[in-house]
């Protein structure tokens, strides 16, 4: 038997890319590849790219330039580019950087084994199709190795919302939901492999409408059915759009014990004028009303958000509307960025806000969000929560896990508790984590 080939994957961007990287590693596993953490030892280096950040394509080309040293030292090394930049750039990548052997888009990576054969024959392989066949079905036989206690499971892909700043509808295509039975089968397999928490993923996960046994199911129906899987202790989902936050999903937050009290619900801006310019499809008042309905059923839910400052046309008054929204809503977690143009999106063509103004606004917003985040974490001290222990900490005898609200929690506990959910009393709030003790 020949020695396994080594595969080094570098993943950029969101959790969906983390999930895709796992599945790509599994697909290439059928061709004898095993993952390595040493890029210089690899037989194949795969960059799973993200198009959300500014100048994503340029950054990928400079990363390839940096990695060229490995190719010079080991000429038989193969290079692959996957993800949203691969989708957007296609064969152009090989034209600009001929050491790249393979370019595969997010919808066609189930074809990787065949593509790996082609590059072994010395050919170049490019596939950025949106194929008819279901990639997850093609990949359904996952290896049965033991898994970490928390896993991602993609249930929905693509987006039809066309926010004017975003490339996702162009790189990932239209909204598609996976059928219920296939998701449940994958969830059961994950639980058999030691997974206690599943995070359902989708670009617009709450737009989920997958084929069920009796017509299309909503995300809430899917979650309730998943909650019946014995051994599955926790369910989460991300990322949601306010427009798709239907009442049945809100109700599930109130009565489905396995659904964790954490919700990432991006709002991006607190100004009605900017929300409209972004094509978000809702107003600030509608967002307030939605948050109230959610908190009415689950008062301890920790809310997370995304914000863009300096969107084209944003005045100081618009920005102060965002600050006011943050003050009124209160976020336990948030991601905030300066607006930056994405070629091909409508907002890229508009008059831009001065960079210094954007930086100054971002500073003010992050100071406020940071204060709220710390306050939410500090408020946990003295409370009891459950923690799913995921791994050993740096200190001997210490484990690290996640609370129901997704706070990182350190506690002294036997390592046999990894993979289990335990009750913990929070005793200290540190910079980015909590310290707890087992009850």
Residues making contact with ligand SF4 (CB under 6 A): 159, 161-163, 166, 168-169, 203-204, 241
Q: Are 50 and 166 in contact (CB under 8 A)?
A: no
Q: How far is the CB of 218 from ligand SF4 (least distance, A)?
A: 18
Q: In the complex with ligand SF4, which residue's Cβ is closer, 263 or 399?
A: 263
Q: In the complex with ligand SF4, which residue's Cβ is closer, 161 or 234?
A: 161
Q: In the complex with ligand SF4, which residue's Cβ is closer, 161 or 264?
A: 161
Q: Which residues pair with 426 in a beta bridge?
A: 436
Q: How far is the CB of 167 from ligand SF4 (least distance, A)?
A: 8
| Long-range contacts from 219-223, C-beta under 8 angstroms, 24+ separation | 219/155, 219/249, 220/246, 220/248, 220/249, 220/251, 220/252, 221/180, 221/248, 222/155, 222/180, 222/183, 223/249, 223/252, 223/256, 223/258, 223/259
Q: In the complex with ligand SF4, which residue's Cβ is closer, 93 or 168?
A: 168
Q: How far is the CB of 268 from ligand SF4 (least distance, A)?
A: 8
Q: Say whether the peptide bond before residue 180 is cis (omega within 30 degrees of 0).
A: no
Q: Scan for tokens 């987006």, then name that residue.
A: 159
Q: How far is the CB of 353 from ligand SF4 (least distance, A)?
A: 19
Q: In the complex with ligand SF4, which residue's Cβ is closer, 201 or 424?
A: 201
Q: Are strands 398-403 and 408-412 parallel, antiparallel or unpaired?
A: antiparallel
Q: How far is the CB of 142 from ligand SF4 (least distance, A)?
A: 26
Q: In the complex with ligand SF4, which residue's Cβ is closer, 107 or 204?
A: 204
How is residue 276 written in tokens? 């409209």
Q: How far is the CB of 332 from ligand SF4 (least distance, A)?
A: 21
Q: Which residues are CB-neighbours of 162 under 8 A, at least 6 positions away?
A: 169, 279
Burial class (CB within 10 angstroms; exposed 0-12, middle 13-18, buried 19+) of 174: exposed
Q: In the complex with ligand SF4, which residue's Cβ is closer, 36 or 204?
A: 204
Q: How far is the CB of 64 from ligand SF4 (least distance, A)?
A: 26
* R_g of the chain computed on alpha carbons: 22
Q: Which of 277, 288, 199, 278 is nearest to 245 (CA)?
A: 288
Q: In the complex with ligand SF4, which residue's Cβ is closer, 51 or 407?
A: 51
Q: How far is the CB of 50 from ligand SF4 (least distance, A)?
A: 12
Q: In the complex with ligand SF4, which residue's Cβ is closer, 159 or 399?
A: 159
The DSSP annotation for 363-409 comes to HHHHHHHHHHHHHHHHTTTT-EEEEEEEEE-SSTTEEEEEETT--EE
Q: Which residues are CB-neighbours of 61 under 8 A, at least 6 positions away?
A: 96, 97
How is residue 342 written in tokens? 């994405």
Q: In the complex with ligand SF4, which residue's Cβ is closer, 46 or 86?
A: 86
Q: Which residues pair with 224 in a beta bridge?
A: none
Q: Are 35 and 26 in contact (CB under 8 A)?
A: no
Rounded CA-CA distance 391/39 in Å is 24
Q: How far is the CB of 203 from ligand SF4 (least distance, A)?
A: 5
Q: How far is the CB of 165 from ligand SF4 (least distance, A)?
A: 7
Q: Say whether the peptide bond before residue 239 is cis (omega within 30 degrees of 0).
A: yes
Q: Are strands 234-238 and 215-218 parallel, antiparallel or unpaired?
A: unpaired
């Amino acid at each position: 038997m020949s020695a396994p080939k080594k595969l080094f994957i570098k993943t950029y961007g969101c959790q969906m890319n983390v999930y895709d990287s796992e599945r790509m590693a599994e697909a290439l596993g059928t061709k004898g590849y095993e993952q390595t953490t040493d890029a210089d030892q690899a037989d194949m280096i795969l960059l799973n790219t993200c198009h959300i950040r500014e100048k994503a394509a340029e950054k990928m080309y400079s990363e390839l330039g940096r990695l060229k040293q490995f190719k010079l030292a080991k000429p038989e090394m193969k290079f692959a580019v996957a993800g949203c930049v691969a989708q957007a750039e296609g064969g152009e990548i090989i034209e600009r950087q001929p050491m790249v052997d393979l370019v595969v888009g997010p919808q066609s990576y189930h074809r990787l084994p065949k593509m790996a054969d082609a590059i072994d024959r010395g050919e170049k392989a490019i596939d950025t199709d949106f194929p008819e066949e279901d990639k997850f079905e093609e990949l359904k036989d996952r290896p049965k190795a033991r898994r970490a206690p928390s896993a991602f499971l993609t249930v929905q892909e693509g987006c039809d919302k066309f926010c004017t700043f975003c490339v996702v509808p162009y790189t990932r295509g239209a909204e598609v939901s996976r059928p219920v039975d296939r998701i449940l089968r994958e969830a059961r397999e994950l639980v058999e492999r030691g997974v206690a928490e599943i995070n359902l993923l989708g670009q617009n996960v709450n737009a989920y409408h997958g084929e069920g046994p009796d017509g299309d199911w909503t995300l809430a129906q899917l979650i309730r059915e998943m909650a019946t899987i014995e051994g599955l202790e926790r369910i989460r989902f991300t990322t949601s759009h306010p427009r798709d936050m239907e009442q049945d999903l809100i109700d599930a937050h109130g009565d489905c014990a396995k659904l964790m009290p954490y919700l990432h619900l991006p709002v991006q801006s607190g100004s009605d004028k900017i929300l409209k310019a972004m094509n978000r499809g809702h107003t600030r008042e509608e967002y307030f009303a939605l948050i109230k309905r959610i908190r009415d059923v689950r008062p301890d839910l920790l809310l997370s958000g995304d914000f863009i400052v300096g969107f084209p046309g944003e005045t100081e008054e618009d920005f102060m509307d965002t600050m006011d929204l943050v003050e009124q809503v209160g976020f336990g977690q948030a991601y905030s960025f300066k607006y930056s143009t994405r070629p091909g999106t409508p907002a890229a063509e508009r008059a831009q806000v001065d960079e210094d103004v954007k930086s100054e606004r971002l500073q003010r917003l992050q100071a406020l969000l940071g204060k709220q985040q710390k306050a939410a974490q500090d408020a946990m001290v003295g409370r009891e929560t459950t923690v799913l222990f995921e791994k050993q900490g740096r200190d001997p005898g210490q484990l690290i896990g996640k609370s129901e609200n997704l706070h990182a929690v350190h506690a002294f506990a036997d390592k046999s508790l990894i993979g289990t959910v335990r009750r913990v009393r929070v005793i200290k709030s540190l910079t980015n984590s909590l310290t707890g003790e087992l009850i």
